[in-house]
């Protein structure tokens, strides 16, 4: 098993010329501690949420023992309480290192993925591999909820502003689910755009829809990784609107054959999200 040392984002392969390895190379994985960004949010000790980061890998290939290429899809779930995220370009380079690697079965590949990704994340991950004969069973679907994007609003700020968020603390609590496809942020290192859809489900004081949409659009020029953006959204809504239950789920479009879909909740009865990918994924 490879021993990983955690790193800062600026030392990652992002934004740098990288040679593609075609032989198995788990050392390519680049873990980054979660706590640095959580410190910015004032999150210390017990987290106000639990959840998972769901990765989908669409460019997974290896050789069987006779040298014939195999292709598959993979889904990797990384628990939100793991010490590290895995930087996405390093993840891509690692997966491509299997391209010319001979393995006796998909199970052998899965065992390596479980071993290496768990070591990098610092916690046990879950891996599902979908082989070619099951591709037809893959389905698409959109996030459920009331569409915030229907609102006709003026926008003049494109950085996160939690003070925009408002809730009605004078009325009885409600349960609502909102969806927006207008989430856009930028990579923390390269500044490249990241596009996503976000679903917010809550129970508590009724959240003002216009203020929530303005807040979400405010990420448009913000530089942070996907997982960090979702935790910022969760934390800001929790503090400003004080819901008793809150779930935030984002599905981001893929880059380099990978998409990342963070899910955070404080609701013990919350169901894990479905794995349906949306039209933009």
pLDDT per position as a tens digit, 95-147:
999 999 999 999 999 999 999 999 999 999 999 999 999 999 999 999 999 99
Within 10 Å of residue 218's Cβ, how many Cβ atoms? Answer: 19
Q: Does a structural domain hold residue 3?
A: no
Residue position matching structure tokens 């998909």 = 106
Residues 242 and 123 in one domain: no
Q: Does a structural domain hold residue 81?
A: yes
Residue 45: CB partners within 8 Å, gap ≥ 6?
Answer: none
Q: Does a structural domain hold residue 281?
A: no
Based on C-alpha coordinates, what's the Rg of the chain? 20
Tens-digit pLDDT profile for residues 172-190 = 999 999 999 999 999 998 8
Residue from 56, 54, 50, 10 nearest 30 by CA: 10
Residues 157 and 121 in one domain: no
Residue from 18, 6, 7 nearest 123 by CA: 6
63: domain range? 9-137
pLDDT at 124: 98
Residues 202 and 129 in one domain: no
Among 81, 106, 137, identify where a domain stops: 137
Q: Which helix (H) or strand (E) holds 115?
A: helix 106-121
pLDDT of 15 above 70? no
Tens-digit pLDDT profile for residues 223-253 = 999 999 999 999 999 999 999 999 999 999 9
Residue 147 φ/ψ, nearest 5 degrees: -75, 115
* 217 or 2, which is more confident: 217
**How many separate domains does the chain show?**
2
pTM for this model (two decimals): 0.92
Q: How far apart are CA 17 and CA 243, in angstroms?
A: 45
Residues designated as active site? 187, 194
Residue from 101, 87, 122, 77 nearest 13 by CA: 87
Residue 133: CB partners within 8 Å, gap ≥ 6?
Answer: none
Domain of 31, CATH number, reads: 3.30.1130.10
């Amino acid at each position: 098993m490879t021993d990983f040392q955690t790193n800062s984002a600026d030392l990652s392969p992002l934004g740098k010329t990288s040679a593609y390895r075609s032989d198995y190379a788990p050392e390519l994985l680049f873990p980054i501690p979660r706590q640095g960004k959580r410190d910015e949010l004032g999150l210390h000790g017990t987290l106000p949420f639990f959840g998972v980061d769901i990765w989908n890998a669409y460019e997974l290939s290896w050789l069987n023992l006779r040298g014939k290429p195999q292709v598959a899809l993979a889904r990797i779930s990384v628990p939100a309480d793991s010490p590290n995220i895995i930087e996405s370009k390093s993840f891509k380079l690692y997966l491509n290192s299997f391209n010319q690697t001979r393995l006796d079965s998909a199970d052998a590949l899965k065992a390596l993925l479980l071993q290496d990704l768990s070591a990098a994340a610092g916690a046990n991950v879950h891996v599902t591999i979908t082989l070619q004969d099951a591709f037809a069973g893959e389905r698409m679907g959109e996030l459920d909820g009331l569409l915030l994007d229907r609102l006709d609003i003026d926008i003049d700020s494109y950085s996160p502003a939690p003070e925009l968020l408002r809730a009605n603390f004078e009325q009885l609590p409600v349960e609502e689910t909102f969806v927006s496809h207008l989430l856009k942020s930028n990579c923390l290192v390269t500044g490249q755009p990241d596009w996503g859809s976000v679903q917010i489900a809550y129970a508590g004081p009724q959240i003002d829809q216009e203020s929530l949409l303005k807040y979400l659009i405010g990420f448009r020029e913000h530089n942070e990784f996907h997982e960090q953006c979702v935790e910022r959204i969760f934390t800001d809504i929790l503090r400003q609107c004080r819901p008793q239950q809150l779930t935030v789920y984002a599905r981001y479009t893929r880059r380099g054959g990978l998409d990342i879909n963070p899910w955070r909740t404080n609701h013990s009865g919350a169901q894990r999200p479905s794995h349906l990918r949306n039209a933009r994924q």
